[in-house]
Chains A and B, each alone.
Chain A
Amino acid sequence: MIKELNIFIKSLLNYVLWYELAQSRIRARFNRTVLGPLWEIFGSLILLLLLAFLWSKLWNKNFLDFFTYLFIGFTLWRTILSSVTDANMLLSHSYINLIKNVYIHPFVLCISSAFKNCVTLLLNLPIILIVLFINDSFHIISLFYCLVFLLLFFISNICVSYIFGTLCLKYRDLEHTINVFFGILFFFTPIIWEVNQLGSKVLLVQPNLLYHYIEFFRSGLINSSVNTISMFVVFFSTIILVLFTSFLSNKIKDKITYWVD
């Protein structure tokens, strides 16, 4: 497992390759568009402005407060969802030819995929900061929480990409199962609704790992503080994910090329 951790670090240090792979995928995604990656910002901004307007009226909330809450949560959710979708297809579709024709460690591909999705999240960060500034809830400490979160999220994202990528390569049903599961999970995660709306049933959200990730990011930015449980869960999950990824990689490293065919 130590050997796998070493490969993980070496793959991280091979930044020229994973950066170029990610860039290439971003360019491919926004090929021939005028706005390019800015679509990531405008697309969600327009949608969330309208949704926040509607729901703030329906639930009798302050528009700006609710928009800030919704925008941060939804942006992270979209990043999580696109990370999972990319991960599911990473080895079975996206980079199938690469794995078949050249030796490249899957960690490099996972890092590239995670980085691509983190860039999407970062593109939305200026809008988030502007909204926080307008709402008078911007503090320097928020940036600190944001940086810590982005680091943990990036590492978790790489691990999830590897776990989902390899499992979906072996068991092709999983790709569809995971997509359905995440579609449902959206409604069980406090993104468009707030935790305090659950009243006495607030404990129901605790087993939801994604709640803690979203809470860390959102609360860190809006309130400049993160509840201890969410912080602990995110830290602990990241460590578990790294260890499990190393364990899994050690077990299946020689089998991946055979699963591709």
Chain B
Amino acid sequence: MHVEVKNLSLIYKIKNLDGSFLRKNLIKKIFSKKKTIEQFWALKNINFNLTNGDRLGVVGTNGSGKSTLIKCLSGILSPTSGSEINISGKFLPIIEPWSLSEPTDSVENNIFLTGLILGFEKNYIKDNLENILEFSELKDYKNFQFSSLSTGMKLKLIFAIVFLLKTEIFFIDEFLTTGDERFREKSYNHLMQETKKNITIICSHERGTIKSFCNKLLVLNKGNQEYFGDVEEGFETYDKFLKV
């Protein structure tokens, strides 16, 4: 399995709020000869290669393009033409997985629904149901309404769904701050164990997590790739940007 990214670029068209109204759009099209859409590079010429066992940390200030990168790799956003993304292996995007749930449905049904949305077979989810409930420490809440769980419980459940339904490549966006300290440790150990042979890409602001978990670092600044390589050296580059 591998993840190969070549010249990945993405231009965002900045939306003027007026643009979503048909009337104003029509008036603009009829009377205005100028193009009113502004564009900016959310990602510009990103290049990296990852193979089995690689754990890439992606750092950058807010708006540097970390989430956009994960969305492009996951196929949610289509990059600008000329970009190349080659991924071999089953991958799982984890951006805001709690948003996939149906609040009024039961915990059990939500496990099935989230698993199916993430592309797993129903029988496979069924086989892993008990493990998920056990790992998330929610065995007694199986028939509870999802919305009745506390925020921490919901996050634990989603974390368990995502990590117990095995996959080869993980794209994780700001997701390792889940649950209480004990659960975080458990999840972290699980992740370390499970992703030894897999490929993981983590976007995070937590320097400690990235340093202890990742073996490669990608530094993004306003959509540009500033560094790709060793973690320690990468953080030195990142610190320079932070000082500026």
Contacts and interface: CB of A to CB of B under 8 A. Distances in A.
B112 interface: yes
A258 B93 contact: no
Interface string A82-115: 0000000000000001111111100000000000
Given A20-B113, A102-B117, A258-B13, A172 B21 contact: yes
A122 interface: no
A27 B105 contact: yes
A48 interface: no
A227 interface: no
B96 interface: yes
A237 interface: no
Interface residues of A, number: 26
Which range contains the number of B residues in contact with the other chain?
Answer: 20 to 34
Contacts, number: 75
Given A27-B104, A27-B109, A104 B117 contact: yes
Nearest to A169: B20
B97 to A, nearest CB: 7
Given A20-B112, A20-B116, A24-B109, A101 B104 contact: no
Contact of A171 (B22, B97, B105, B109): B22
Interface in B1-46: 12-13, 15, 20-23, 25
B76 A257 contact: yes
* A102, A103, A172: residue with the most chain B Cβ atoms closer than 10 Å: A102
Main secondary structure of the interface of A (DSSP, over half): helix
Contact of B105 (A24, A97, A99, A103): A24
B100 A254 contact: no
A102 B20 contact: no
Interface in B210-227: none
A31 interface: yes
A123 interface: no
A103 B22 contact: no
Contacts of A258: 12-13, 77
A101 B22 contact: no
Given A16-B122, A258-B13, A101 B96 contact: yes
Interface of A: 16-17, 20-21, 24-25, 27-28, 31, 97-104, 170-174, 254, 257-258, 261
10 contacts: A16-B121, A21-B113, A24-B113, A25-B102, A27-B102, A28-B102, A31-B145, A99-B76, A104-B117, A171-B22
Given A27-B104, A104-B117, A258-B13, 4 more contacts: A25-B102, A98-B99, A254-B78, A257-B71
